[in-house]
Amino acid sequence: MSGFDFEEERIKQEIAKRGAKQVLLQLPEGLKSEGLRLAKIVEGAGALPIISADPCYGPCDLATSEAERLGADLIIHFGHAKLVKHEPVPTVYVEARATVTVDDVVEKSLPLLNKYKQIGLATTVQHVQALGYVKEILVRAGKTVMVGDAGRMNYPGQVSGCDYSNVKSIADAVDAFLFIGGGRFHALGIALSTSKPTLVADPYEKRVYAIDKEAEKILKQRWACVEEVKRAKIFGVLVGLKLGQKRFDEALKIKELARQKGKQAFLFAVKEISPEVLMEFPQVDAYVNTACPRISLDAPSKFLKPVLTVNEFMVVSGEISWENLLKKGLFEN
């Protein structure tokens, strides 16, 4: 494999430098197939590797309690940049930068960018190293290029599943965004957070496409969902148990707000939010999700009951208008 840089030498050095004896390896789904190869590298460096087989969706999902239970003295977390400020267990991040070239797909995007002059660039941590080069190609084609740096992410232009502060910081100044990376997930987040035309330049599938129609459809569905929930009487407030998803104060605020509006609200602690888990509480009319906000948006039809983001609940409770929600973003803090 594999199209990604796993920084094998750094892994060995970190193990030696820290004198780690037992190492928990955490990989997102797309990289799990590398687990055995990486475990051998850890073993060769003199430590006992343990591969976490549980799902890992983001840097918020650091397996610190699992590491503590196993007595692991180091976590190596692959595929994401650091998010959690203070890890209870020493953690090394291997961002798994992509080695695939992006120039051909960026060239392909030029005809689709024809009607736009000012272009905002964005990507995930896997491709942040390519942004300078992408910018050169666009500038040569006569575009003005901006890369946002709002200071919350690790790198300029970087977006994550639930943090679009970098693109929001330049949204008013650009005509459209070009997202470099695989899949629709992050590009959809850009379109939903900025309401700007957004193109995906996917270097894996070698194709370029617009995501705006899909974003519009999601917005319509969310508006309908918010309207429906205005009639709800009993709310379930989901409190995430993953290290970087716990927003207990937010959950308490929602419970209190619901009470003030004459509704009942119950707190639910949950690690993995799934339709099956929520089906166990038929009395609940609607849920408010303070954990991973993308769960509410990306597959709403899976859930039998509406699952709102925190910001959407603010519309339901009359704290903000739908128009202001669109400015603030469906799911960002």
**Binder among 42, 162, 180, 225 for ligand SF4 (CB under 6 A):** 162
Does residue 294 touch ligand SF4 according to CB under 6 A? Answer: yes
Does residue 181 touch ligand SF4 according to CB under 6 A? Answer: no
For the beta carbon of residue 305, count every other beta carbon within 10 angstroms.
Answer: 16
**Binder among 52, 64, 245, 296 for ligand SF4 (CB under 6 A):** 245
Contact between 319 and 257 (Cβ < 8 Å): yes
**Looking at beta carbons only, is 62 or 146 nearer to ligand SF4?**
62
Number of residues that bind ligand SF4 (CB under 6 A): 10
Cα–Cα distance measured from residue 207 to residue 218, given in angstroms and rounded to the nearest whole number: 23
Cα–Cα distance measured from residue 229 to residue 220, given in angstroms and rounded to the nearest whole number: 14
Does residue 192 touch ligand SF4 according to CB under 6 A? Answer: no
Based on its alpha-carbon atoms, the radius of gyration of the chain, rounded to whole angstroms, reads: 21
Question: For the window 20-59, what string marks contact with ligand SF4 as x by the rule CB under 6 A?
Answer: -------------------------------------xxx
Contact between 42 and 14 (Cβ < 8 Å): no
Question: For the window 66-95, what string marks contact with ligand SF4 as x by the rule CB under 6 A?
Answer: ------------------------------
Does residue 288 touch ligand SF4 according to CB under 6 A? Answer: no
**Looking at beta carbons only, is 60 or 146 nearer to ligand SF4?**
60
Taking CB positions, which residue lies at the least distance from ligand SF4?
A: 161
Size (the chain), residues: 333
Cα–Cα distance measured from residue 266 to residue 259, given in angstroms and rounded to the nearest whole number: 10
Cα–Cα distance measured from residue 279 to residue 128, given in angstroms and rounded to the nearest whole number: 40
Where do we find the tokens 């798994």?
96
Does residue 64 touch ligand SF4 according to CB under 6 A? Answer: no
Pair of tokens at residue 39? 């475990």
**Three-state DSSP class for residue 33:** helix
**Binder among 292, 297, 307, 330 for ligand SF4 (CB under 6 A):** 292
| Contact residues for ligand SF4, defined by CB under 6 A | 57-60, 160-162, 245, 292, 294
